Amino acid sequence: GLAYEVGSQHEAEVNYGFFAAHASVDSKNITKAKKLILEQFSKLQHITDKELKEAKNYIEGSFLLDYEDTQKLADGLLFWEHVNKASDMFSYLDRIKKVTKSDVKRVAKKYLTSQCTTTIIRGK
């Protein structure tokens, strides 16, 4: 009941990228919502082997399902070619499988902190 909607977004482009967590909340609940989001980020410092495996399986499944569609496959190949080379797309899952708990903790500690930027947009 705290938020009307909660989600996250990740953009990884050639010249920029970002990760955002967002919540639609009543203005009186902004501080509480931010605190709860940051608490969730801090839990990444205690990620379990099971959680990491589930996350990797989710990424792999989503990746494989997305590229069953020929249009999405063509778009993916174009993206990877634009970034570096199209063949990188085929090693993506191998690189995901190599991610360790230590990697997750290191990245979370660096980027998912209270020092992150907060933007509040009020509706009319």
How confident is the model over 4-42, as pLDDT tens digits? 899 999 888 778 888 888 888 888 888 898 889 999 999
Q: Is the pLDDT score of 124 beyond 70?
A: no
C-alpha–C-alpha distance, residues 99 and 119, integer Å: 30
Nearest-5° angle of CA 115, CA 116, CA 120? 120
Query: Residue 108 has what pLDDT?
Result: 93
Query: What is the identity of the amino acid at 114?
Result: S
Whether residue 82 contacts residue 11, with contact meaning beta carbons closer than 8 Å, is answered with: no
Bridge partners of 10, per DSSP, are 19
CB-based contacts of 95, cutoff 8 Å, min separation 6: none
Bridge partners, residue 6, by sequence: 23
**Alpha-carbon gap, residue 83 to 76, rounded angstroms:** 11
HSE-CB at 60 with a 13 A cutoff on CA atoms is 14
- Give, in order, the Cα–Cα distances in Å from 112 to each of 37, 54, 78, 85, 87: 10, 20, 30, 30, 31
Q: Which residue has the higher pLDDT, 29 or 47?
A: 47
> At 50, which helix (H) or strand (E)?
helix 49-66
pLDDT tens-digit profile of 61-119? 999 999 999 999 999 999 889 888 999 999 999 999 999 999 999 999 998 987 776 66
